[in-house]
Homo-oligomer: A and B are copies of this chain.
Amino acid sequence: MPRKTLDTAVIDLMQSIGVLLRRARAASGSHELSLTEAFVMGRLAKDGPATTADLARAEGMKPQSMGTTIAALEEMGMVERKPHPTDGRQVNIGLTAKGAAVRKSAKDAKQTWLMRAISQLEESERETLFKAGEIIKRLAEK
């Protein structure tokens, strides 16, 4: 396959992703989690408590913006803040029981919408997306 075609294809990929993200957002009602909120909860569930700065770095956001996200999740009762045992500046963010339950029950409409779409794919297509995810992750981290 010629290189130029592939370059254009990746631009097309970004455009398709834009459409997909808009659809996913539209599918989630106002009472649901945003993509960033879902990410934060997923990370907390997987790796345990983290600081605002940690989460911001992981998601490529400014700490102030992540602070806003955390505040929204806290107001929903999904996460709680606990002071760091030794460093008085830091605050550990952790999932509440409710947050863990919501995370487990997969009530996130956005994930449900995605899961529904994904369930229609063939195994080989999922694997392609899996590989693409690793590539994009590497790109995003640079």
Chain A: residues with CB nearer than 8 A to chain B?
Answer: 1, 3, 5-7, 9-24, 35-36, 38-39, 42, 59-61, 111, 114-115, 117-118, 120-121, 123, 125-133, 135-137, 139-142
Contact = CB atoms under 8 A, between A and B. Distances in A.
A11 B42 contact: yes
Contacts of A16: 133, 136-137, 140
Given A16-B136, A140-B23, A128 B128 contact: yes
Q: Which of A35, A111, A131, A142 has the most CB of B within 10 A?
A: A131
A22 B132 contact: no
Given A16-B133, A128-B131, 17 more contacts: A6-B127, A9-B130, A10-B118, A12-B137, A13-B129, A13-B130, A13-B136, A13-B137, A14-B21, A14-B24, A18-B35, A18-B60, A19-B137, A19-B141, A22-B61, A121-B135, A125-B135
A111 B10 CA distance: 10
A106 to B, nearest CB: 10
A9 B132 CA distance: 10
A16 B16 CA distance: 15
A114 B135 CA distance: 13
Given A14-B114, A17-B17, A39-B18, A23 B60 contact: yes
A128 B139 contact: no
Contact of A10 (B5, B130, B141): B130
